[in-house]
Structure 1
Amino acid sequence: MNLQFKELQKEDIKEVILLINEAYRGEKKDKAWTTESHILDGIRVNENMMEEILEEKETKTYIAKVDNKIVGTIQAKLDGESIHIGLFAVDTKSQASGIGKKLLEFAENSSSKLWQKSTFLIEVISTRTELMQYYIRRGYQNTNSFIEFPKSEHWTPNTNEELKLLVLKKTI
């Protein structure tokens, strides 16, 4: 597997939107263990959102490519004394192949070097225990700190559960 990492460019946006929306909101029947479709309806990102992200200062969005096809994406954003990790997605057909682990390590190492920070934060929907376990295996720790789930015109909860985000933290 010829895995390469690079920064997101404008010409990558459409392909990345498809990847993110499929990974986050794809049907559970597609066996994407990262899907939130059983919790949320709607899209995760659109073209305007991605273009705004691309223009944000102190934000780096990286993509992973195999054979010139985008198979993963992740965002690192400077947030005070820490780096916030988000928009982390791997193509549903490429999950469980090690791409996510390598992409996360790349984003952590690159952004830590760039901004001279060693603390990372990531937020996970508190009911997504399998996702929390993934990050714990990658060195993140449960902070037992919760934040309100963001509201958006682009998605709506489809569950009666109260949605909260659990903050996970890692220091390298």
Structure 2
Amino acid sequence: METTTGRRTEPAFRHASPADVPALVALVESAYRGDASRAGWTTEADLLEGQRTDAEGVAALVADAGSRLLVVERDGEPIACCHLEHRGDHVYFGMFAVRPEAQGGGLGKRVMAEAERTARAEWGATAMHMTVIRQRAELIAWYERRGYRRTGQMSPFPYGDERFGIPQRDDLEFELLVKDLAG
């Protein structure tokens, strides 16, 4: 939406509430699954079908006292989100989604910067951890340009658990990426 001066309003960051759950599920699904996700570059549609998340899972993240689900909205509508989970000296970063038509304009970089700031400010975290499907070379390269490093530490994809999607190949696994936040 444009203001009367012809400029888009700035995105606003806030913590999610239970009322946000349906919109956040739709946002995450639109960024990763199905034909709609192909409008952006973060799609996993060639690797996985089915759901990326569900209302029960998102509601649990919103309710978890050791987590923050950050929502980015413009004109009252969610356009991006990410989940932060406090894990001792580091924070796990996940469920990062930017609406496909908003990708490529720098919003993702702003979300990551706010996530890192939140991790330091709220929990004193010295590192951010995330896992990325190792076959997502372009996405891993994007994270590397933001200071994340590949560890070579792999974990298996949860085959057989359709809550995480229906794999379209049999070699999926996650790689741990880490960023030092102390600097």
TM-score (normalised: structure 1): 0.94
From 160, 166, 170, give the equivalent of 2:175.
166
**Aligned counterpart, 1:60:** 68
1:50 pairs with 2:58:
yes
1:157 pairs with 2:170:
no
User: What is the letter of the counterpart of residue 172 of structure 2?
Assistant: L
1:36 pairs with 2:44:
yes
- For structure 1, the 5+ residue unaligned runs are none
- For structure 2, the 5+ residue unaligned runs are 1-7
Post-superposition offset of 1:28: 7.2
Matched residues in 1 for 2:50 and 2:157: separation? 15
**Aligned counterpart, 1:23:** 31
Aligned positions, number: 171
**Aligned counterpart, 1:125:** 133
Percent of matched pairs sharing the same residue: 26
Matched residues in 1 for 2:114 and 2:53: separation? 23
TM-score (normalised: structure 2): 0.89
Post-superposition offset of 1:117: 1.1
**Aligned counterpart, 2:4:** none
Q: Which runs of 4+ in 1 moved over 3 A?
A: none
Q: What is the 5 A alignment of 1:77-156?
A: 77-151=85-159, 152-154=161-163, 155-156=165-166
Post-superposition offset of 1:29: 7.4
Which structure has the greater CA radius of gyration?
2
Q: Is the 8 A contact 1:28 1:38 kept in 2?
A: no
Of stretches 80-89 and 25-34 in structure 1, the one that deviates more from structure 2 is 25-34
Cα deviation code 1:135-162 (max 9, x no counterpart): 01111011111111124232221124x1
Q: What is the 5 A alignment of 1:65-76?
A: 65-76=73-84
Of stretches 87-96 and 147-156 in structure 1, the one that deviates more from structure 2 is 147-156
Q: Is the 8 A contact 1:60 1:75 kept in 2?
A: yes
Matched residues in 2 for 1:140 and 1:31: separation? 25
Post-superposition offset of 1:27: 2.1
The 1:131–1:107 alpha-carbon spacing in structure 2 relative to 1, beyond 3 Å, is same
